Amino acid sequence: MRKQVLSLSEAAAGRIRQLLDQRQRSFLKLGVKARGCNGLSYTLNYADDKGKFDELVEDKGVKILIDPKALMHVIGTKMDFVDDKLRSEFIFVNPNSAGQCGCGESFMTMSSSEAAKRAGGSGS
């Protein structure tokens, strides 16, 4: 059996279940996009259907789709949810992260940092 792409804490699963029930949607979809000081940030969107190349993760009774462009950046990630007096947010513990900005809004993986080096240093 292969390793799960993404695992959820009980708190994350509970919050996702609540959000999906409120919106009457089937899936939450995790992606990444180029943004922030370190290159990538996580995106979460609602989805009704699984795309042809989406990876389906079922954990603790909830279904999450992983965008195929995000897959190599999130393998092995644990998703948690924190709700306290200062914040209410999903937290991603990503073993592939090679760096994170100070505010925690963006991250870099080995594959994204290598791509940035090639793009920036190809003329040397």
Would you give per-residue pLDDT tens digits along the chain (124 residues)?
A: 566 899 999 999 999 999 999 999 999 999 988 876 657 888 999 999 999 999 999 999 999 999 999 998 889 999 999 999 988 999 888 887 765 555 555 555 665 445 444 444 444 3
Residue 116 buriedness (CB in 10 A; 0-12 / 13-18 / 19+):
middle
From the list 97, 85, 90, 104, the residue with the least C-alpha distance to 13 is 90
- pTM metric for this prediction: 0.77
Which pLDDT belongs to residue 105?
Answer: 56
Asked if residues 29 and 46 have their Cβ atoms less than 8 Å apart, the reply is yes
- The residues near 105 (Cβ < 8 Å, ≥ 6 apart) are 35, 36, 37, 41
Say if residues 110 and 41 touch (Cβ distance below 8 Å): no
